[in-house]
Amino acid sequence: MRIGIIGGGQLGLMMAEAAHSLNHFVIGLDPIKDCPLSTVADSMIIANYNDLNAFDKLANLVDVITYEFENVDLDLIEKYIQKIPQKSSALRISKNRFLEKTFAVQSAIPTVKFELMDIQKDIFYPSIVKTTTGGYDGKGQFKLQSQNDVDNLRLNSESSYIIEELFHFDYEISVISTRGFSGEIIHFPIPKNTHKEGILFTCEITNDLPKEVCDKAIQYSELIASQLDYVGTIAVEYFVKNNQVYFNEFAPRPHNSGHYTIEGCNVSQFENHIRAITNDRLISPMLINNTWMINVLGQDDIFIERMNPTICTYHNYNKHEKKLNRKMGHITCVDENEELLEKTIEYIKG
Ligand code: ADP
Ligand code: MG
């Protein structure tokens, strides 16, 4: 099939690699000529994400379209919805944190306490203020510990915000699932995630999380994906405290915490995504071996030097400009020996 990928970042790149392994043809759309996807796509349309002519051109050239990030224009997605199996509900809701958390509440899925922020009304702390739209990797978030932080808070009057209790979770997880056209849904082994400054740092996948936690999280993820009538790979992030599972947010696309699946599983989150959107058979994922993933940001070149090449693989996103906190690649470490994995990651982290 001919697949159009909107968004040329690392997710687009890894989607295209999976598409090629299944003998599909890939056309990318991104404003940046030498974006990561351009290094593997069969063809690129260089245009903005809200360029109607470019969307028209892409839609005419391909059988199916997928998007790899949430900031794509919703009206354009609606216009070409016939070719977009991910559809628009998941995108519309995940674009806005207030809608997203309200959707969870309406689905009877627990969340931490949150409200639409009104600076004139009661502000509680400790809390986190987050922009409702456009935030990612911890951007657009402010911690409030005291009235002093409130006094120093500089909010953009054009934006809206939510205020959330600062939650003392035991750990964070994410469920990566793929749902097919007929509603069948599969789930990847659940990673335990750590973040640094709001950016995903490491994922640990050892299949030894408490069963009740996994069962609950999977139950919530199934509910979310089916209510959205979503097709493709979807990721839902959760906080876990005292074995209770709390929804944080979801992403209607493959997710950074699922990158481990490329080496760690018999099928990757990208391959199942491509299989889903092309109405192909989904493959039931299994963990081949214990796996850890660590992100390599612009300032983390040293991580690559510290890799143990016998158990580690580096994925380079082919980005030209290195910037502080920009995701440049990731490292996956796979081995049955958990102790060795932990030591390897500790050494890489330094
Ligand atoms: P983003 O879209 O930037 O990923 P998140 O809401 O997932 O936004 O926040 C990023 C990270 O910040 C989370 O994975 C978590 O580590 C931390 N965080 C977010 N909200 C809370 C909260 N209410 N309490 C404690 N930590 C939080
Ligand atoms: Mg997040």
Residue 263: per-residue pLDDT: 98
Q: Which atom of ligand 1 is nearest to the CA of 139?
A: 3
Q: Which atom of ligand 1 is nearest to the CA of 169?
A: 25
Low-confidence ranges of the chain (pLDDT < 50): none
Q: Which atom of ligand 1 is nearest to the CA of 127?
A: 23
Q: Which atom of ligand 1 is nearest to the CA of 112?
A: 23
Closest Cα to atom 12 of ligand 1:
198
Distance 51 CA to ligand 2 centre (A): 28
Question: What does the chain come to in residues?
Answer: 350
Residue 158: per-residue pLDDT: 87
Ligand closest to CA 196: 1
Q: Are 101 and 111 in contact (CB under 8 A)?
A: yes
What residues flank ligand 1, with Cβ below 6 Å?
112, 128, 135-138, 164-167, 172, 195, 198, 237, 248-249
Distance 199 CA to ligand 2 centre (A): 8
Distance 102 CA to ligand 1 centre (A): 16
- The 10s digit of each residue's pLDDT in 66-124 is 999 988 999 999 999 999 999 999 999 999 999 999 999 999 999 999 999 987 777 89
Residue 120: per-residue pLDDT: 76
Distance 126 CA to ligand 1 centre (A): 14
Residue 104: per-residue pLDDT: 98
Q: Concatenate the DSSP letters of all residues of 99-159 into one string.
A: HHHHHHHHTT--B--EEE--TTS---SSEEEEESSS--TTTTEEEE-SHHHHHH----TTS
Residue 25 exposed, middle or buried by CB count within 10 Å (0-12, 13-18, 19+) = middle
Q: Are 18 and 273 in contact (CB under 8 A)?
A: yes
Q: Are 159 and 132 in contact (CB under 8 A)?
A: yes
- The 10s digit of each residue's pLDDT in 286-327 is 999 999 999 999 999 999 999 999 999 999 999 999 999 999
What's the sign of the alpha-carbon dihedral 42, 43, 48, 50? negative
Ligand closest to CA 195: 1
Q: Indicate the top mutation candidate among 141, 161, 193, 246 to test ligand 1's pocket, ranked by most ligand atoms within 8 A of CB.
A: 141
Ligand 2 ion local residues (Cβ < 5 A):
237
